[in-house]
Structure 1
Amino acid sequence: MATDDMWIWDGGRVCLDFANTLRHRWRTTPEETLRSPGDLTVWLQQAGLLAPGIQDPGTAAVLASGRRLRESVDRAVLAVADNGLPLPGDITVLNRSAAEAPRPAVQIAVTDGRLEPAGTANTATDASAALALIALDAVDLLLSPEIRRVRVCGADHCALRFVDRSPARNRRWCSMSRCGNRTKVRLHQARARRSDHTPAD
């Protein structure tokens, strides 16, 4: 079973965090973090998509469906972020899954003496419905201007996907504390080695 620290939450959207559960996509054989139905259930709970207290052991079929959805999300998002269109099969996967998403009940609250809509978290009661919420988030991202801010981490050995919300739209790494610092340290060490081997005049 995957450990909680295997999952990275720097995508900025739940659908990108889900795409990032397949790690090291640059390798010939990427690293799978959703190795069992239990891994998928724990990830969905950590992502806040399963209602509190739900004990859903999941099934191999739901895990396979989740992995298919993940790859459809990844391909579609990268295609549209690059000014292309998703594959027809990926559109079908996303639409079918999103159609199964639970809809939150309409709720109200009194704020400053006025009735207003109450913000409620949209959670599911089983893994299949939670996957549908991921599809819904992906559809929302694909149709929003934010899709143009989707990036792939610039570190040589990462490739995580994220939304660049920096004011200058120039974020290069999935996380400054992880890939950004590592890259800067590596470049600094490389410069120091080159300077040590430069012959003196």
Structure 2
Amino acid sequence: MVLRPPSGGEFRFDPGALWLDLLVSGGPGELAGFETLHTPADLAAWTKLSRLRLDPARVHVTAAELAAAVRLRDRLWELAWALIRGGPVGPELAAVVDEAAAGPPPAPRLRVTGHGFRREWTLPVTGTQLLSAVARDVIDVLTGPYADRLRECGGVRCGLVFLDTSRPGSRRWCSMERCGNRSKVRALRERRAPDAG
């Protein structure tokens, strides 16, 4: 994903999972300032940016489905924070995920390419199918090999959340070109500060 923060500029960010793609669209509390899901068309547009890579014109979202998506996303933030910070995960959070996952997800399609195969999705897709795909991804991630690799960016006042799928499991930044570089510059300044006197 290419993110354009309110402070300006842009950078590439790979959250590592579909459900974490959704978290980039905004959230509760202080994250409300980053809200991007204002209309059903906004949720349809998000699908093109997400790892689903859908054609927004073929994604049909109702106002009720948009409201359900925002509610699910905000609860997924609670889940992510609990997992990252070692807090308790209540059964009500699992119930929210289970409810969304119970619906039918988008149906995959096999496409033959010149070099093999590619997965695509049967269109059109509804908002309910999107929520099912997101919720099923939560279940896959939290019961899979990277279940303990949910991370919050180590950048000052960043807060982006990602799944660390690196081989050593040592990813620290949302993006090296943003928070990684800022941290290196800050560390260099701190090392040089005593020499300046």
Classify the TM-score, shorter chain. 0.7 to 0.9
Distance 2:122 2:69 in 1: 17
Is the counterpart of residue 14 in structure 1 residue 14 in structure 2? no
Alpha-carbon deviation of 1:126? Answer: 1.5
Is the CA contact 2:3–2:13 (under 8 Å) kept in the aligned structure 1?
A: no
The aligned amino acid for 1:21 is S
Is the CA contact 1:50–1:123 (under 8 Å) kept in the aligned structure 2?
A: no
Equivalent position SS for 1:183 = helix
Distance 1:161 1:58 in 2: 26
Aligned-pair identity in percent equals 31
Distance 2:22 2:31 in 1: 20
The aligned amino acid for 1:120 is R
Please give the per-residue CA displacement for 1:70-124, whole angstroms capped at 9, x wherever unaligned: 1222323443456665322221111111111336379799xxxxxxxx7634556
Equivalent position SS for 2:148 = helix
The aligned amino acid for 2:146 is E
Alpha-carbon deviation of 1:51? Answer: 4.8
C-alpha spacing 1:143/1:70, structure 2 compared with 1 (3 Å): same
Aligned residues: 185
- For the pair shown, the structure with the greater C-alpha radius of gyration is 1
Alpha-carbon deviation of 1:142? Answer: 1.3
Distance 2:73 2:167 in 1: 29
Q: TM-score, normalised by structure 2?
A: 0.75
The aligned amino acid for 1:17 is D
Distance 1:120 1:105 in 2: 6
Distance 1:165 1:140 in 2: 14
The aligned amino acid for 1:35 is H
The aligned amino acid for 2:151 is R
Which residue of the partner structure matches residue 66 of structure 2?
63
Which residue of the partner structure matches residue 170 of structure 2?
170
Is the CA contact 2:109–2:122 (under 8 Å) kept in the aligned structure 1?
A: no
Distance 2:59 2:31 in 1: 33
Is the counterpart of residue 148 in structure 1 residue 148 in structure 2? yes
Distance 2:52 2:33 in 1: 25
C-alpha spacing 1:192/1:91, structure 2 compared with 1 (3 Å): same
Is the CA contact 1:51–1:123 (under 8 Å) kept in the aligned structure 2?
A: no
Equivalent position SS for 1:151 = strand
Which residue of the partner structure matches residue 115 of structure 1?
none
Distance 1:194 1:162 in 2: 35
Gaps of 5+ in 2: 6-11
Q: Between Structure 1 and Structure 2, which shows a larger proportion of strand residues?
A: 2
Alpha-carbon deviation of 1:162? Answer: 0.8
Within a 5 Å distance, the mapping from 1:57-136 to structure 2 comes to: 58-80=61-83, 86-102=89-105, 104=107, 120-122=119-121, 125-136=125-136
Gaps of 5+ in 1: 110-117
Alpha-carbon deviation of 1:27? Answer: 4.2
C-alpha spacing 1:105/1:19, structure 2 compared with 1 (3 Å): closer
Equivalent position SS for 2:141 = helix
Q: TM-score, normalised by structure 1?
A: 0.74
C-alpha spacing 1:169/1:189, structure 2 compared with 1 (3 Å): same
